[in-house]
Chain A
Amino acid sequence: MQLNIKYFGMLAEVTAITEEYIQTEVCSVSELVEKLKNQYPKLGDKDFKVAINHHLVDQNHIINTEVEVALLPPFAGG
C-alpha cells in the first residue's frame, strides 16, 4: 500500500523533503518510524509525534490502509 508521508519543521530539513509517497506493507507506527529512520539517519536523533489522517496516534497504532502520515516535531521559538 502507498503512504503519503509529510515532514514538518526541522524534520523537513533533515530529510530535505516536505513530503513523499512510499510503498509499505501493513505495519505499526513504530515500525514505520524505524524504516524512515533507516532511510534518513538524521531523523534518528529527532523527537516527533505521528499523526495519521490528521489524528495523533501512539507508537502501537497499526497502519493497514492508505493514509497520510504526518511527522510533527515540537517547536521552541517565540
Chain B
Amino acid sequence: MNSFNSRYHRQVILPEIGSSGQEKLDRSKVLVIGAGGLGCPVLQYLTAAGIGTIGIVDFDVVDISNLHRQILYGTSSIGINKALAAKQRLTDLNPAITINTYPEKLTTKNAISIFSEYDIIVDGTDNFSTRYLINDACIIANKPLVYGAIFKFEGQVSVFNYQNGPTYRCLFPEPPKAGSVPSCAEIGVLGVLPGIIGSMQANEILKIILGLGNVLSGKLFMYDCLTTTSSTFTISRVESEISKVKALSEDFKKNDYDLFCGVHQIIEITAQEAFLIKNAQFIDVRETHEQPKIDSLEPISIPLGTLEQELHMISKEKEIIVFCQSGIRSKRAVEILQKNGFRNISHIRGGAIVLHDNMSDLLDLKK
C-alpha cells in the first residue's frame, strides 16, 4: 500500500467514501477566510482529509492570546502571519496537498478573483463587514459558503448559496447596529467552542464534496455548549435580497462594507497635526483631577465615563479632536462618539503626556 492509500485508509475503507471519494477530495479546492478560532479546526481537518488545494486568507499575526483556542499554532508562531504560520504546520500534517497563502485583508478588490480559484468558500472571520463581503462575493462568484460564527458559549453553522439555497442575507438582510454585538476580543470565548463549530464547518465541507448526507443548506444550526443543546431553524431563500446583491455586482469593487456595517476607522493624529487644525474643538476625556492640564488647547473636559451623558456639550458642526493621558481612553471615546453619530473625529497619539512634553515647540507652530 503506498503512502497515499495508507494516509487516508480509515476514511477510504468507508464504503460511502472509497477511493473515488478520496479522489474527489484530492481534486477539490477550498478557501478558508480567517485562520482564527474557527479557521484552525477547519484547516486541520481539511488538510488531514486530503483536500487537494487549500487557500488561507488572513492578514493578522498570531498573538499569545490566540493560543487557548487556535490550537493550530504554538508559542513559536507568535508574531508570525497566521496564513503563513498555518501553512507551516499544515504542510507537516500533510505535505501531499497544495496550500496557497494570502497574508492580506480580504477586500472587494481581491475577493472575486481569489474566490474564482476555489470550489467552496469558508467563513471563519470575526466581524460583520467581512461576513457580508464574503456572502456577497459568493453570490456574485456563485460559490457555496460554509458559515460559522460564535458568541460566548453559543455557535451558529449554516451552508449558504448552495444549490440555489438561501444566503446569509436571506437570514440577516442588514448588519446589526455597529457596536451592538460584541466580539470575542471584548467579551471572551471558551476555547473549545470554536473547535466544535469549526469542526462542524469542516464536516459540511466534506459532505458537499463527497455528496454525503444532508448538507446544512436552508438551515441555521445553533449550539449551546453550556447546556449541550442544539436547535435547527429553517431559512427560506429571499429572492429580493439576492437580486440586490447581483445588481451591485458591476460595482462590487466600489462597495464599502465597513461603511455598510457602520464601522468607521479611528484616525490617530500627532500632537503637531492637532495644533495645526484650525477651529477644532478639543475634548479632554481624562478625569478632571488628572495632570498636566493642556490649557492652551482650551479643551472641553468630559471624563470618558460620563461622555455618553454629556454629548450635548459637543458640536457636530466642528472637527472633534479627543485626547486623554496617553491615547488609550481617547480611542474608546472616538468609538463612543462615532456610535452616537458624530463624524470628523480624531484622537491624539500619546495624549496629554506628549502634548505637555512638546508644548513649547507646539506653541511655536501656532505662531
Same complex origin of A and B? yes
User: What residues of chain A have their CB less than 8 Å away from a CB belonging to chain B?
Assistant: 6, 8-10, 45-47, 49, 51, 54-56, 70, 72-78
Top 8 A-B pairs, shortest CB-CB distance: A47-B176, A75-B149, A75-B151, A78-B126, A77-B184, A77-B150, A78-B38, A51-B233
Q: A10-B151, A55-B234 are in contact. Are A74 and B176 (CB under 8 A)?
A: yes
Residues from chain B with Cβ under 8 Å of A56 in the complex? 171, 220, 233-236
Residues from chain B with Cβ under 8 Å of A10 in the complex? 151, 181-182
Mark contacts of B147-166 with chain A using CB atoms, 8 A cut-off: 1 yes-contact digit, 0 otherwise.
01111101110000000000
The listed residue with most B CB atoms (<10 A of its CB), out of A6, A56, A74, A78, is A78
Contact B155 A75 (CB under 8 A): yes
Contact of A74 among B128, B231, B234 (CB under 8 A): B128
Number of A-B contacts (CB under 8 A): 88
Q: A56-B171, A75-B149 are in contact. List 4 more A-B contacts (CB 8 A).
A: A49-B171, A55-B233, A76-B131, A78-B124
User: What residues of chain B have their CB less than 8 Å away from a CB belonging to chain A?
Assistant: 34, 36-39, 123-128, 131, 148-152, 154-156, 171-172, 174-177, 180-184, 189, 194, 220, 222, 231-236
Contact A76 B220 (CB under 8 A): no
Give the distance to chain B from A59, nearest Cβ to Cβ, in Å: 12
- Give the docked Cα–Cα distance between A75 and B155 (Å): 8
26 contacting pairs across A/B (C-beta < 8 A): A8-B154, A47-B172, A47-B181, A51-B233, A54-B232, A54-B233, A55-B234, A56-B171, A56-B234, A56-B236, A70-B231, A73-B176, A73-B181, A74-B175, A75-B150, A75-B154, A76-B131, A76-B149, A76-B182, A77-B150, A77-B189, A78-B36, A78-B39, A78-B124, A78-B148, A78-B184
Residues from chain B with Cβ under 8 Å of A8 in the complex? 154, 222
Contact of A9 among B151, B171, B189, B233 (CB under 8 A): B151
- Give the docked Cα–Cα distance between A2 and B62 (Å): 50
With both beta carbons as reference points, the residue of chain A lying nearest to B220 in the complex is identified as A72
- Give the docked Cα–Cα distance between A30 and B224 (Å): 27
Contact A49 B172 (CB under 8 A): yes
The listed residue with most B CB atoms (<10 A of its CB), out of A10, A56, A70, A75, is A75
- Give the docked Cα–Cα distance between A8 and B154 (Å): 8
Contact A77 B151 (CB under 8 A): yes
Q: A72-B220, A76-B126, A78-B124 are in contact. Are A47 and B180 (CB under 8 A)?
A: yes
Residues from chain A with Cβ under 8 Å of B131 in the complex? 76
- Give the docked Cα–Cα distance between A55 and B218 (Å): 10
Residues from chain A with Cβ under 8 Å of B231 in the complex? 6, 54, 70
Residues from chain B with Cβ under 8 Å of A9 in the complex? 151-152, 154
Give the distance to chain B from A47, nearest Cβ to Cβ, in Å: 4
Contact B189 A45 (CB under 8 A): no
Residues from chain A with Cβ under 8 Å of B236 in the complex? 56
Residues from chain A with Cβ under 8 Å of B220 in the complex? 56, 72
Contact A77 B126 (CB under 8 A): yes
Residues from chain B with Cβ under 8 Å of A45 in the complex? 177, 180
Give the distance to chain A from B187, nearest Cβ to Cβ, in Å: 9
Contact B154 A54 (CB under 8 A): no
Contact A46 B126 (CB under 8 A): no
The listed residue with most A CB atoms (<10 A of its CB), out of B123, B126, B181, B184, is B181
Contact B174 A47 (CB under 8 A): yes
Residues from chain A with Cβ under 8 Å of B124 in the complex? 78
With both beta carbons as reference points, the residue of chain A lying nearest to B232 in the complex is identified as A54
Residues from chain B with Cβ under 8 Å of A73 in the complex? 151, 176, 181
- Give the docked Cα–Cα distance between A17 and B80 (Å): 42
With both beta carbons as reference points, the residue of chain A lying nearest to B189 in the complex is identified as A77
Give the distance to chain A from B163, nearest Cβ to Cβ, in Å: 19
Q: A56-B235, A70-B233 are in contact. Are A78 and B150 (CB under 8 A)?
A: yes
Residues from chain B with Cβ under 8 Å of A78 in the complex? 34, 36-39, 123-126, 148-150, 184, 194
